[in-house]
Structure 1
């Protein structure tokens, strides 16, 4: 009954969603170029298809090693990668070019998903993390196509949300053939919420399998030379509204101690770039914007208003603060800076990645702070005490290396299940 109500409401609002999409297309043409994907009208496939769904940029980047491995292990199959956002689709295209197919995921109405399935005819649906759209899952399972939830995580907060509708959640999770959970706690919460225990495995997080390539190292070295090789540089990445003010306050404290200090500021969402730039200027800090090719050598803040470059940007800094954590957003992935062997600083709110942060912290590769004052103090200590900075960075990288291997376990599981 609940799914019927959900589907009916989605059908009713769909015309307004499409009108909003058309309106967005007036200023962002990429948003409407492939609008037919949204109602399931994708080109038909002439090869067996593995459908990989990654909601946006972060999940797309996390899925990239999995996609590469599937291309190698199943050369007979075509990979169809879907995303909900234009930035996610663009990132996948930048990563793979013409090696795979791309589409926007269909809106979650029964008709849109059925049309999508009839044209794609997937061998399996591989969903990254916990992107649980009811009709996507029910329609796919109902068509006899296995559904795999990979790199799956379920926080205490998310579990409580699902458990408000226990029958619906239980029935939804039972449609999933395999849940490859990141950690023990995730697996336990999935089972408590209704998944078959026999369908849940603990594989670890594929995000630990992050690799710092030579290309990334070259790009980071070039950027660092532009920023100023001899000055202290810290990066505040994936920041949200309500955090930037605290970060800039911390940076002002750092500048009082060392006027050469530079902040590389990376807002999480591109629509906030201009607002964050205005905020920097309101704080009377000199600004250079990456999109404008500004000279950062004499600036106090370097606004990285670009997409798909975060991994490289980390490599150009000495210390990393990972955002979404000074506010109750739940934090973001800290493993990219850890893989660079650099100190990782976070705020208190990291419930989206509890297990990962606990592993970094237990390995003494992480510093938690509660506010701007503590953030400034943590960064300043890393700047002034190279032994402390190097020890934190070494420990962070060791935690990443110790937890690698999830990618192999996940790919082996998918290939074995596909037969």
Structure 2
């Protein structure tokens, strides 16, 4: 009954969902591209497989899927890989990572209505499917089972908050998760919460993000960006979310009162969502800062050091560059109760991190990084600037944290191998 009501609700909101695409396309035109795919129309795409299907909703999940996708391509050379998304930025990230791989096809997943899901399953007939992290749609999960497609929730995480919300559905949640062929959890805590929901097949395989290797080209660009910035220390504020930038800019404007005689660093300000780049640039300018935009920088052509207070990271797919250019990185989404973002990518290039009080989406990784000496937690934006100044003023402490960051990232690798082994019976069947 709940599934029927859910599907009826989707029928009602589908026109609104299409209108929302048009609304979002005002700032991000990609939302009006490939609309037919969201309605289960794939007639212009090749359908000949056999297909292994990976669903990565947006940017973070697509990046996290990279080591798994590369491993799948290597282990199953006679298969093609179908990579689905829900956002244009996710699709763009996939194109940046895999655009030269002829065995990968990208498209959008259809909206979660039974007949649209059925169109998708009939068209591609994937041999197996892997949903990244948290992307659970009831009709998609049921549709895969009806089509005989073993479906796995991979790199799965379930925060305490999400567990409480899901548990409200009682048996309906257990029935939905029972349709999965398996749930491959990041941590023991995630596994326990899935099991408490009644999920029968849970394995702990670790976090694929630890297996993400920073692109050498990105690291080299970071070194070049650092030379362009000059001798100043560099503080990154990465993946910031709406509402956080005003707090960061206000605290940054009061650096001297918060940090004493420690020189103010250059701030790399990198909003998480590209549609907010112009908004954040204007916000920083109104706050009295000089701003350079990454999109306007020719890193090969600049001879003298930049004098701008802030470099706005208004590019996609260059996070490795930003982290490699930084002495210290604050990970956004954590000053406000938004759950935080991935800190592993910064640690992988040896950049220690600061996080705010709200990291429930990445709780285990954050606590492990703090315990390893790679991460410090701050209460608010003022504390962030004070602690950043303290670390930047102490070269020995900064070097120690950099070493701990690299060690932390290295010690937790291996999730790709464990995930591939857990998937093997279904992929080879």
The alignment partner of 1:122 has SS state of coil
Partner of 1:17: 17
In the TM superposition, 1:9-408 aligns within 5 A as 9-22=9-22, 24-25=24-25, 28-42=28-42, 43-99=45-101, 100-196=104-200, 199-228=201-230, 230-254=231-255, 257-258=261-262, 261-293=265-297, 297-408=306-417
**In structure 1, C-alpha distance between the alignment counterparts of 2:234 and 2:100, rounded to whole Å:** 37
Distance 1:250 1:16 in 2: 40
CA–CA separation in structure 1 for the residues paired with 2:339 and 2:203: 24
> 1:226 offset after TM fit, Å?
1.7
Give 1:292 shift.
2.7
* Residues 208, 13 of structure 1: alpha-carbon distance in 2 compared, 3 angstrom cutoff: same
Q: CA deviation at 1:415?
A: 2.5
1:279-326 per-position Cα deviation (integer Å, ceiling 9, x unaligned): 212221111111233887110011111112112211111101001111
How far apart are the structure 2 equivalents of 1:12 and 1:210?
Answer: 40
CA drift of 1:382 comes to: 1.8
TM-score (norm 1): 0.96
CA distance in 2, matches of 1:26, 1:213: 32
Conservation of the 8 A alpha-carbon contact between 2:271 and 2:314: yes
Contact 1:320/1:344 (CA < 8 Å) preserved in 2?
yes
The alpha-carbon distance between structure 1 residues 25 and 237, as it changes in their structure 2 partners (threshold 3 A), is: closer
Determine the structure 1 residue equivalent to 2:6: 6
Change (3 A) 1:7 1:274: same
Question: Are residues 363 and 391 of structure 1, via their aligned partners in 2, closer, same or farther at CA, if it must alter by over 3 Å?
Answer: same
Separation of aligned partners in 2, 1:45 and 1:64:
23
Q: 2:291 and 2:364 mapped to 1: Cα distance?
A: 36
Q: More displaced, 331-340 or 259-268?
A: 259-268
SS at 1:345's partner residue? strand
In structure 2, relative to structure 1, the CA distance for the partners of 1:252 and 1:26 (3 Å cut) is: closer
Aligned residues between the structures: 416
Shift of 1:252: 2.3
2:241 & 2:205 partners in 1: Cα distance?
30
Bigger Cα displacement from structure 2, 215-224 vs 54-63: 215-224
Could you list the per-position Cα deviations for residues 359-385 of structure 1 after superposition, in whole angstroms to 9, with x for gaps in the alignment? 111112111000122111111012110
Shift of 1:20: 3.4
Deviation at 1:153, TM superposition (A): 0.4
Deviation at 1:29, TM superposition (A): 4.0
After superposition, the CA RMSD in angstroms is 1.6
**Deviation of the 1:217 alpha carbon:** 1.9
Change over 3 Å in CA distance of 1:24–1:268 after alignment to 2: closer
Instruction: Give the structure-2-normalised TM-score.
Output: 0.93
Contact 2:239–2:332 (8 Å) recurs in 1: yes
Superposed structure 1 runs of 4+ greater than 6 Å apart: none
Between the aligned partners of 1:330 and 1:140, the Cα distance in structure 2 is 30
- Extract unaligned runs of 5+ from structure 2: none
Shift of 1:24: 4.6
**Residue 423 of structure 2: aligned partner:** 414
